[in-house]
């Protein structure tokens, strides 16, 4: 999605200090590269407004995330975090070894669920995840 399309839905955002990211009403922060969406962060204020395609939203518990996304393809799991990596061209989840071997960081999307008081949902491409660009 382009920045123009996102802002038709979200309105005008406020620039943040991270890359080309903007905060919008209702608890959403969007990161852009070349005027295209490359990251979405849903914070606690987004609950009830925004969900992932599988129904995850900010503030969900560890078990609720695992119920939606499963344990089989977890890339990283701790008490405070669950991460998944997905290769869009190969249509498969990646483990740590295949993620490190993959050269095309634009073909990989990450879903990171922060299981803290803030309970953020972070969706981003691998390049933004590693460079904030």
132 vs 91: which has the higher pLDDT: 91
Rounded mean pLDDT of 18-30?
90
pLDDT of residue 6 exceeding 80, the answer is: yes
The 3-state DSSP class for residue 52 equals coil
Q: What b-and-e string marks burial along 23-48, b requiring 16 or more CB atoms within 10 Å of the CB?
A: ebeebbbbbbbeeebbbbbbbeebbe
Query: Which pLDDT belongs to residue 29?
Result: 95
DSSP state of 126: H
Return the beta strands (E) in the chain as ranges: 14-15, 21-24, 28-33, 36-42, 76-78, 81-87, 92-93, 108-114, 121-125
Domain boundaries, the chain: 3-131
The pLDDT mean for the chain works out to: 92
Gap between the Cα atoms of 49 and 26, Å rounded: 7
What does the block give as tokens for 118?
Answer: 């803030």
Res 20: pLDDT: 85
Angle among Cα 32, 103, 71 to the nearest 5 degrees reads 80
């Amino acid at each position: 999605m382009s920045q123009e399309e996102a802002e038709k839905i979200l309105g005008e955002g406020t620039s943040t200090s991270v890359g080309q990211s903007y905060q919008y009403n209702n608890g959403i922060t969007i990161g852009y590269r070349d005027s295209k969406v490359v990251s979405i962060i849903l914070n606690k204020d987004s609950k009830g407004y925004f969900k992932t395609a599988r129904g995850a939203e900010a503030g969900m518990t560890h078990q609720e995330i695992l119920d939606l996304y499963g344990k089989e393809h977890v890339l990283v799991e701790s008490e405070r975090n669950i991460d998944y990596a997905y290769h869009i061209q190969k249509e498969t989840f990646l483990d740590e070894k295949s993620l490190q071997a993959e050269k095309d960081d634009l073909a990989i999307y990450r879903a990171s669920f922060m299981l803290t008081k803030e309970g953020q949902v972070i969706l981003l491409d691998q390049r933004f995840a590693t460079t904030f660009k």
